Structure 1
C-alpha cells in the first residue's frame, strides 16, 4: 500500500462520492466554528501580519466537495466580522488547500466560480480580497517556508497515518482477519499502532511549528477515542464490522484470505490523554482549547440521546458514508468488482450492531498556539501544566 497514491476520498459528485456523503464532516466544521473564529482573530492580530498585509491560511487534508469551501467561507466571515467590529484595516487572505495528490482538486476548482458569487452576495463590501490555491502533498512533510503561515486548519484528517506500521507492512501476518485494532488484535499490534501515531503526530507538530508565523494558530479536529480500551472503541467497531464483511467474502471465495490478512489500515484514533502527552513532549505549542464531542454513526440521525435509531436504513446510511472515505483504499487490493457486495454486507452488519446499541464517533478538537519563548523562560513564567486546563469552548 502506498498511502500518498491510494488514500483519497471517492472523487466526483455522484451517489457514492465523498462530496455527496460528508454530512458528518460538515457538522464537525460548524461545531468548531467558535475555535476557528478565535484563531482567525489571533492570527489577524499578529505582529508579522501587520507588516505583511496578508494572512496565509492552510487547510490540511481539504478533500473535495462543499466542506472544502465551507472552511474558506468561515474564515472570510471571521475576517470580515473582525474588521467591522474593530475597524481594522483591510487585509488580503491567501488560502492554500492541501491534500494528497489523488484528491479531486478539479471538483474544488470547478466550484470556485459559484462560491465567489455567493460570497460576494452574502458578505458585500466587508468581503476581504482573497486568493485560493491548491497544494498537493502529505502534511507529514514540509509544505511551506519557515514562519510563512498564520493559521493551519485540519478537519477529520489526523487520524490517518503517514503509512501502515512497518512491521505490519512487511507482509507478516500479525493481525489475522482484521484491518485495524479490534477485539482479537494482539497487544503487540496495538503497541505498533500507538507508537506510530505518536511518531506521526510529533512530526506533524514539529513541521507545522517551523512553518507558523509568530503567534501562529492551529485548529485541528479528528476522530479519537473516548475510552482507554482501544480494542473496543467506537472507531474499532466501525472497522471491525467492515473486516467481518470482508471475512464473509473470503468464505464465499470472492476474496483471498491472504489478501485480507495482509491488509491493514494506516489509521489510529488516539485518546485525549495520548494527544495531550505528545503536545507536552513537543514543547512547541500551548493548548488554547481541547474538547471531545460525539456524533452518531448515522449521519442522518441528529438525536443526541442514546435511544437506538428508528430510521429505516441506518446501516445503509453509515455504509454509504464510510464507502465514500475508504473505497479507493479498499479497491486496489481487493478489486472494484467486490465493492457493491462488500458494502451491502457491511450495511447489514452496521444495522445489526445499531439495533443493539446506538454508537457515536468521538471527535477531538484542538486549538493550539505556537510557542516561541525559550524553555527556560517558560519555566520562569510558571507551571506549564496549567496551559492544558484553560477551559473549553462551547
Structure 2
C-alpha cells in the first residue's frame, strides 16, 4: 500500500463524507483550545510589530474543521492587537497541508467564502489581509521554505504513518496492533512511529522560526502498552466485521491477512522521548484528554426519537468509514462495503452498550529552540 497516494478522507459533502462525519475531531479541537490559544498568544507577543504571521495547518483534510483553528487564530490576534494598542494587524499567511488525494477543491469552493464572511461579520473590515494556500504533500518531508513558519497546528493527523511497517506477515487476522499480535509486530509499529515522528520534527525544525510554536494533537493512549484496548479496540472490532465477510466468501482470507492499518497511537512518554531526542523543540505542555466514541454523533434527542446504542454505533461506523474506506477499497477492491459497515455498526452498538469506550488524545505544545 502506497500510503501517500491512498490515504485521504472521503471527500465531498455526502452522507459518508469526512466533512459530515468529523464531529468528534471538532470536539477534540475545542477540548485543546486553551493550549492552542496560549501558544498563538505567545507567538504574537514574540513577533511584536511584525508585518506578517505565517501559519501552517498540517493534515487539514476538508470540512468544517479545516479552517476552524485558522479563524480562531485571526480572532485571537485581533483581540491582542487591540489590547496592545497596535494600529494594524499583521498580514496572515495560512497554509493548508494534506496529502495530494485530499479534497482541496471543496475547501476553496465551499469553505473559504464562509471563512471570509465569518471574519468580516465578527471583526469588521479591519482584520488585515488573510492569504490562504494549499500545500499538498507529506508532512514527513519538507513542505515550506526555511525559517518561515511562526505557528504550526495539527490535530488527529500524526498518528498516521508514512508507510505500513514491514514484517507484519505474522499479524494474520489482526488489521492493527492487538492483544494477540506478536511482539515483533508491536515493535515494527513503534519503530516506524519513531522514524516518522523524528523526521517530522526535523523537517519542522528547519521551517519554524526560532521561538515559533507548534501544537500537535495525536490520537494516542495513556497506557505504556502499545496494544492496549484504549487505542486498538476500534480497529479490532472492524477486524471482526471483516472476518465475517471472509466467512461469507465476500473477501478472500489471504487479502485480510495482508491488510494492516498504517497508524500508531503513541503514549505521552513516547511523544516526549522523540521530541527530546530530536532536540530542536522545548516542550511547554504535554497533556492527555479523553472523548467518548459516542461523541461521533450530536447526541440530540427529539420528541420523537431518543438516542440509543444503535444510533451511537451507526454514528461511529460512519465516522470510521469516512476515514478508512479509501484504504479498504484500495486493498480489497470494490466489494459489499455497505454490508461491512452495517455489520460494524451492530458490533459497535453492542460493545458501546456494555463498555466505557473512549478515544485518548495526546496534545503537545512546543517552542522552537533559539
Normalized against structure 2, the TM-score is what? 0.94
Secondary structure at 2:174's aligned position in 1?
coil
Residues 222-243 of structure 1: per-residue CA shift (max 9 Å, x gap): 1001222222332201001111
Gaps of 5+ in 1: 304-308, 373-394
1:43-122 equivalences under 5 Å are 43-47=43-47, 50=49, 53-88=51-86, 89-110=88-109, 111-122=111-122
Secondary structure at 2:336's aligned position in 1?
helix
Q: Does 1:278 align with 2:277?
A: no
Q: Does 1:3 align with 2:8?
A: no
Decide which of 188, 192, 203 is 2:199's aligned counterpart: 203
Judge conservation of contact 1:225–1:233 (CA < 8 Å) in 2.
no
The 2-side partners of 1:35 and 1:302 are apart by 26
Decide which of 213, 219, 226 is 2:209's aligned counterpart: 213
- In structure 1, the partner of 2:303 is none
- In structure 1, the partner of 2:351 is 353
Number of residue pairs aligned between Structure 1 and Structure 2 = 361
The 2-side partners of 1:178 and 1:94 are apart by 43
Decide which of 249, 255, 268 is 2:245's aligned counterpart: 249
Residues 293-323 of structure 1: per-residue CA shift (max 9 Å, x gap): 00001223779xxxxx954421111101110
Decide which of 183, 191, 195 is 1:187's aligned counterpart: 183
1:1-394 equivalences under 5 Å are 1-47=1-47, 50=49, 53-88=51-86, 89-110=88-109, 111-168=111-168, 173-298=169-294, 299-300=296-297, 310-372=308-370
The 1-side partners of 2:61 and 2:126 are apart by 28
Secondary structure at 1:131's aligned position in 2?
strand
Normalized against structure 1, the TM-score is what? 0.88
Residues 221-278 of structure 1: per-residue CA shift (max 9 Å, x gap): 0100122222233220100111111111111111111111111111000111111111
Residues 270 and 41 of structure 1: is their aligned pair in 2 closer, same or farther, counting only changes over 3 Å? same
- Give the superposed CA RMSD: 1.6
Residues 74-109 of structure 1: per-residue CA shift (max 9 Å, x gap): 111111111111123421000000000000000000
Judge conservation of contact 1:149–1:212 (CA < 8 Å) in 2.
yes
Residues 113 and 292 of structure 1: is their aligned pair in 2 closer, same or farther, counting only changes over 3 Å? same
Judge conservation of contact 1:42–1:215 (CA < 8 Å) in 2.
no
